Structure formats: C-alpha cells, structure tokens
C-alpha cells in the first residue's frame, strides 16, 4: 500500500495524490497551479500509466483541486470519477470558464499548449461523473485484476466551501483519511467540518495557514463588524469600497456578511453591492443548491432575496466607480486581466475610497504587492486586511492531528514554512511525520 504525491513540492497548487491500495489505484484531486502557465501548471501525471487508475475522487470545486481533471481523465477513461453534487455543479461552470481563460492566455501570453481541453470535451466527460453525499459509502474496484481488493470510501463534510469534503478510504485493515481543504468553524454560508477522529492509521492533512498563528482573541463576528466599520467610514467620506473576492466561496460569504451588517445597522441599509463575471454564475449555482447541501442562511437565495445586489453586465468593458457603493469583484488576488485588477486603479486613486482584502493573497500577486507596499498603482486610499479564510487556523489543525493520533501524518497543501511548523510541533510525538516529495512513494503498511 503506497501514497505518491503528484503535486508541486513546497507550494500550494496542482494538488493530486495517488494511492495504491491492495492492487486498486485511486487518485484524490486533480488541480492546476494558479501561479504558473502551460504544462508546468499540471500535476506529475506523466508518472501514471494510461488506463491504470480505478477511481478519481475530487474533494471540492476550486481549480487547484479540480482544474486538471479533464487532462487526467483523458488518459484514465476507465476510472470512476466521484464528487459531491455541489462540486459537480460548480465544477462544470469553473472548468468551462477555465477553457475561456486558457484561450485568452494563449492569445495574450503565447502559451501554445492552451487550452488543455475544449468545451465539447468537458460536456462529454460530465457524463461519467458520479455524485455521492457525505455518509454514503461507495467502493472503488480494480475490475481488471481479480486478485485486487476493493477500497471502501466515505466522504465527510469539510467546511471550506459548498460541497467540500474530506475522504476516508479503507482497505484490508488500514484506514486512510484525506482532509482536502478544511475549516472547522461555521462561516457565514459554509458550515464547519465534521471529521472522523478515531481508527485512522494515515492522515493526509492540509497545512495552508501553518506559517502564522491567528489572533487568540479572534471572533468572526468581531472581524465582520470591523470590516463593516471600515466600509462605512469610506461611504461616509463620500467614497466607495472594493472588496476583491474569489468567485466561488468568498463572493457569497462576503455578500451575506454585508447583508448582516446592514441588518445590524453598521452599514446603511440601502447600500448597493455590485458583483459580476464568474461570481454571478457561481452565486446563481449556490442559490440553485439551496436545500440540497447544509449551509447557513438557508432561507436566503442571494440573487432573488437581496434587493441591493447589482450585477455587472456580461461583456462590460467600462467599469464605472460611483460613490456610496460596495464592489465585490473577482479575483481575490487581483490577478492581471480580472475585473478586480481592472477596477483597482479607480479605487486606489481617491483617498475617500477603501480597498478591503478578505482572504489570502500570494505575495507575488497584485493583491499581495499592494499589501506589502509595492503596488503597481498609486495608493491614495486606506487599504485594510480582514481574516475570513476558508482554511482552519494552524492550532485547530494541530489539535485535530493530536486527537486522531494516527500512526502516520503526511503534510500537504502548504508552503515550506507552513509544513515545517507542523513537523516541528509534532517532532516529539510517536507519529511518523512526513513531508512528501513529488513522485516518491511512501509505504502505508
């Protein structure tokens, strides 16, 4: 029984992990790297023989876990592809958008291998997807080898974003659990994770926030109110507010928080909130899934029930900045050519406005450079950062590891300093703590 990381080492991106369990081969996740281009964005799929994989399980719809699935499936046509219903619904839209992005990058950047797949290929692939709910066991089997053993799988709610799950696999007398991306606390929309804590031999766990501690006095409500006060101050100055957001997850979380802030009287109740582009599509799908996946504010359909919501017209090129409004535009890292990146100069140039960050920004991204004082744009307005991460803080992850007390823990989905912090904290334990290298097998027996 073996584990092999196919992901890029020491970075967050292109997540994909191969498990060889009793003669059955299962891959968990198939992502793309958000900071790279061309073939370097892909996991090390060249290490896998064609038609040798029996099952592919996707933990959630973010592209660093889903974006290379069409490339993988093209060479693994016999594999069962399993995910939750929300991940399937959201993932279809995100993958189709990815085709459009790759076409644009081919034209603008000269990446000749783009796009990796076509809209038609995606539509054909969707026919092979299977959906399962948390708590519903299913089997992955090697139908070509009668001597192989089946792998019994089960999903568990992971928080993070709508549809996200951790995955448990049992084979022989071994139990393996993969967290995917996890948040243990309730967010505004997504409910906290509900993970198993006993009988786990090998734990594969994300380490995204391992390089920094959260303020011990942190509460989500206080952070929400602090954001509301910063936005209200800008509106009272006669300015407007830009909140860069990721299309899936953060857009819907922030829109709901702004709604709560208006109900609490912290923001004026008639403040227009603007969203656009892919965020609108994702919000429509989140509304469509009401009642089909546990979430907060189940009584609200965002597009139908929030009268202050304004949608950026499809294909709009000219982005007008009007006072007294809040603009929630993607991407969250203000990546070049996205709506938030195009809109930023209009906000930053006026001292009455405010730019509010609500999630992680890579230091090399435009958002990261603004936060570090190295902006490509002149900055004349207040810039503030708030913690609404969809990832669990490191102390909660460490507590979970210790409660599970597995024989072996494999640290993934984190930069080198983040993984190193966990390894140091667990150095005195009896667990075998491992930081995987791409392509190097780890024995799970």
Q: Is the bond preceding 331 in cis, omega lying within 30 degrees of 0?
A: yes
Among 39, 112, 27, smallest CA distance to 73 is for 27
Within 10 angstroms of residue 134's Cβ, the number of other Cβ atoms is 15
**What pLDDT, in 10s, does the model give residues 104-148?**
999 988 999 999 999 999 999 999 999 999 999 999 999 889 889
How far, in Å, CA of 205 to CA of 231, rounded? 36
Among 233, 230, 241, 227, smallest CA distance to 343 is for 241
Task: Say whether pLDDT at 83 is over 90.
Answer: yes
Write down the domain spans for the chain. 2-212+391-443, 220-385
- Record the pTM: 0.96
Count how many residues are written for the chain. Answer: 445
**What pLDDT, in 10s, does the model give residues 283-330?**
999 999 999 999 998 889 999 999 999 998 765 656 789 999 999 999
Three-state DSSP class for residue 434? strand
pLDDT at 294: 93
Q: Phi and psi for 434 in degrees, rounded to 5?
A: -130, 140
**What are the Cα distances from residue 133, in Å, to 24, 69, 292?**
22, 20, 10
**How open is the CA angle 266-220-348, to the nearest 5 degrees?**
60
Which distant-in-sequence residues (6+ apart) come within 8 Å of 359 by Cβ? 245, 246, 250, 332, 388, 389, 390
Please state which of the four CATH numbers 3.60.15.10, 3.30.470.30, 3.10.20.600, 3.90.226.10 is assigned to the domain occupying 2-212+391-443: 3.60.15.10
How far, in Å, CA of 244 to CA of 228, rounded? 15
Q: Phi and psi for 433 in degrees, rounded to 5?
A: -100, 125
- Give the CATH number of domain 220-385: 3.40.50.10890
- State what percent of residues in the chain have pLDDT above 70: 99
């Amino acid at each position: 029984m073996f584990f092999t990381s196919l992901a890029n080492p020491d970075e967050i991106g292109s997540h994909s992990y191969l498990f060889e369990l009793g003669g059955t081969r299962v891959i968990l996740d198939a992502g793309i790297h958000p900071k790279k281009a061309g073939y370097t964005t892909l996991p090390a799929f060249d290490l896998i023989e064609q038609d040798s994989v029996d099952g592919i399980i996707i933990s959630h719809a973010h592209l660093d876990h889903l974006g290379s699935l069409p490339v993988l499936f093209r060479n693994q046509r016999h594999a069962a592809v399993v995910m939750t219903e929300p991940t399937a619904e959201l993932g279809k839209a995100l993958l189709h958008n990815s085709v459009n992005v790759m076409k644009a990058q081919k034209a603008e950047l000269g990446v000749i291998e783009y796009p990796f797949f076509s809209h038609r290929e995606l539509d054909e692939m969707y026919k092979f997807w299977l959906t399962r709910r948390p708590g519903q066991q299913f089997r992955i089997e090697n139908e070509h080898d009668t001597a192989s053993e089946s792998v019994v799988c089960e999903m568990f709610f992971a928080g993070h974003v709508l549809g996200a799950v951790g995955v448990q696999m049992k084979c022989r007398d071994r139990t393996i659990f993969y967290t995917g991306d996890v948040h243990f606390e309730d967010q505004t929309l997504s409910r906290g994770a509900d993970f198993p804590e006993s009988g786990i031999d090998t734990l594969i766990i994300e380490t995204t926030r391992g390089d920094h501690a959260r303020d011990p006095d942190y509460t989500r409500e206080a952070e929400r109110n602090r954001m509301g006060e910063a936005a209200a101050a800008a509106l009272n100055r006669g300015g407007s507010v830009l909140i860069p957001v990721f299309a899936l997850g953060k857009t819907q979380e922030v829109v709901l928080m702004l709604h709560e802030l208006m109900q609490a009287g912290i923001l004026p109740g008639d403040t227009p909130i603007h969203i656009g582009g892919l965020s609108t599509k994702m919000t429509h799908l989140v509304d469509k899934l009401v009642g089909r996946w546990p979430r907060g504010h189940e009584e609200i359909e965002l597009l139908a029930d929030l009268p202050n919501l304004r949608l950026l017209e499809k294909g709009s090129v000219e982005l007008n900045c009007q006072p007294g409004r809040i603009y929630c535009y993607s991407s969250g890292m203000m990546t070049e050519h996205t709506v938030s990146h195009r809109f930023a100069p209009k906000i930053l140039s006026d001292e009455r406005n405010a730019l509010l960050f609500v999630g992680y920004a890579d230091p090399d991204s435009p958002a990261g450079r603004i936060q570090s004082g190295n902006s490509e744009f002149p900055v004349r307005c207040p810039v503030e950062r708030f913690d609404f991460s969809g990832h669990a803080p490191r102390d909660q992850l460490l507590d979970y590891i210790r409660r599970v007390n597995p024989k072996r823990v494999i640290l993934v989905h984190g930069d080198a300093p983040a993984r190193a912090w966990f390894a140091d904290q667990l150095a005195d334990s009896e667990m075998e703590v491992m930081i995987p290298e791409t392509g190097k097998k780890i024995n799970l027996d």
